[in-house]
Amino acid sequence: MERRAKIAATLGPACNSPQTLHKMVRHGLDVARLNFSHGDLPTHTGLVRALRQAAKKARRPVALLADLQGPRFRIGEVPGGALTVTAGGRVKLHAGRRRCTPGGLPVTYAALARDVRRGDRVLIDDGRIELRVTGKRDTDVVCEVVRGGTVRDNKGINLPDSSLSVPAVTAKDSRDLRTAVDLGADWLAVSFVRRAADVARARRLLVKAGREIPVLAKIERAEAIDALDEILDEADGLIVARGDLGVELPAARVPMLQKEIIESANARGKPVMTATQMLDSMRHQARPTRAEASDVANAVLDGSGCLLLTAETAVGEYPVEVIRTMAGIIEQAEASGRTLRRSPPEGGLSVTVTTCRAGCYAAADVRAEALAVVTRGGATAIQTARFRPDTPILAFTPSEEVRRRLALIWGVRPYRLAERRSLHALLRALDRALLENRLARRGDVVVVLMGDRIGGAALSRTNLMRVHRVGASLG
């Protein structure tokens, strides 16, 4: 059986050539992440151009995921380049500063003093250093050192206990969002989402920029866990961003939170990705650790529809090998038959979802070769995938953009198929596509899902399920 869970990888200096990207696509790359935390417009433009060339050469659709930076806070330029703080000591943070006098730490976030309260934690360098606020004056914040270490320039800061006044979509994000639209992004990821309104703001900016791109909410703040249901109502999918989530919350909670977030997304029929340090050791070595292999397999068994590689492909030494390795682990996990199958939701379903569920049951009953999903915007294929059928999902769409977008979705193999004016003409075109692409043989049974009207406003709602014998329309 073909691999069903998809592989996403971050673009960067390690894979910025069409040749390297072509190898990555051939070995299983489905989604390329453009990280707006790094790089400038010429860099991003060059990466996307190389990606499109590689995908065209490999004759495979690859989705482009634009990942906004969000409100990142950092230490500025530390006097002398480094400052060692000791547990039990005190240190002063100077908000909104790039530089400060010796003995203190400059912090780029101007609203730090306004947002923190006495007793709040300030975590530096992925939580390696922990401070606790004891007081503040004007723009200065006085902290006690709970866990010491050496603070260096530009290290990241997390404020897990503070209610932040800065929006999740910053002014920089707004500019980057427009760049993402211009570059033809297929998905948009919003970082540090705290509530549904953060996703809604990104969606309004997309409308203003002239494109409707599906939005993924990155779950990496403690506040997002409490607001997960409302975020799922607004977002088109989720990313379990375990890096910052494991800093904001105790690391011991992350494995179970991962399972709960994935389960919630799957129950809503929303795509969900798992990210961060999946094969981290492969930045510098050609084989993963046993723990990493288990982590990847476990994410698949949890129900992740897509797994995201970050530094492994952006700056690592083995970007092609890491794709090949992840693909192999996923295939082994899926072949075990232990992948989780959720009980289908009962009642309150839309016509489209009900039809997709019926199609999955029918495909199993008649042992269909495939589910052939005819879709204009991709929703029917996504809703079919939510039921995790054993039958392959072949999506046929007239839009190249939708074809790329569906490359992110679990189990979906997307193809182009021009719209037709009648059901008979559509079935003839579908038969030809199945036969020419060697997706089925004449006489095979497929289950077709589509709208009941062809052309014009067609396919806006899926309400037709047809058990079809391949080639019957061709005579």
Could you list the active site residues? 33, 74, 218, 276
Report whether CATH 3.90.1300.10 matches the domain 73-158: no
Strand order in 370-374's β-sheet?
Answer: 412-416, 393-397, 370-374, 445-450, 464-469
pLDDT of residue 345: 61
**CA–CA dist 300, 298 (Å, integer):** 5
Its sign, for the CA torsion 463, 377, 269, 330, is positive
- Residue 13, token pair as written in the block: 């200096």
Strand partners, 416: 397
CATH of domain 6-71+167-335: 3.20.20.60
Find the angle CA(215)-CA(220)-CA(221) to the nearest 5 degrees: 110
Q: What tens digit of pLDDT does each residue of 353-390 get?
A: 999 999 999 999 999 999 999 999 999 999 999 999 99
pLDDT of residue 458: 45
Right CATH number for 351-474 from 3.40.50.1360, 3.40.1380.20, 1.10.290.10, 3.40.190.10? 3.40.1380.20
**CA–CA dist 286, 445 (Å, integer):** 43
pLDDT tens sequence for the chain (475 residues): 689 999 999 999 999 999 999 999 999 999 999 999 999 999 999 999 999 999 999 999 999 999 999 998 999 999 888 999 999 999 999 998 888 888 899 999 999 999 999 999 999 998 999 999 999 999 999 999 999 999 999 899 999 999 899 999 999 999 999 999 999 999 999 999 999 999 999 999 999 999 999 999 999 999 999 999 999 999 999 999 999 999 999 999 999 999 999 999 999 999 999 999 999 999 999 999 999 999 999 999 999 999 999 999 999 999 999 999 999 999 999 999 877 565 556 567 888 899 999 999 999 999 999 999 999 999 999 999 999 999 999 999 999 999 999 999 999 999 999 988 888 899 999 999 999 999 999 999 999 999 765 544 444 567 889 999 999 888 7
- Residue 60, token pair as written in the block: 């495979």
Output b/e per residue, 266-300; b: 16+ Cβ within 10 A: bebbbbbbbbbbbbbbbbeeeebeeebbebbbebb
- Residue 427, token pair as written in the block: 């079935």
The counts of H helices and E strands in the chain are: 16, 22
Strand partners, 396: 374, 415
The structural domains of the chain, with segments of one domain joined by +, span 6-71+167-335, 73-158, 351-474
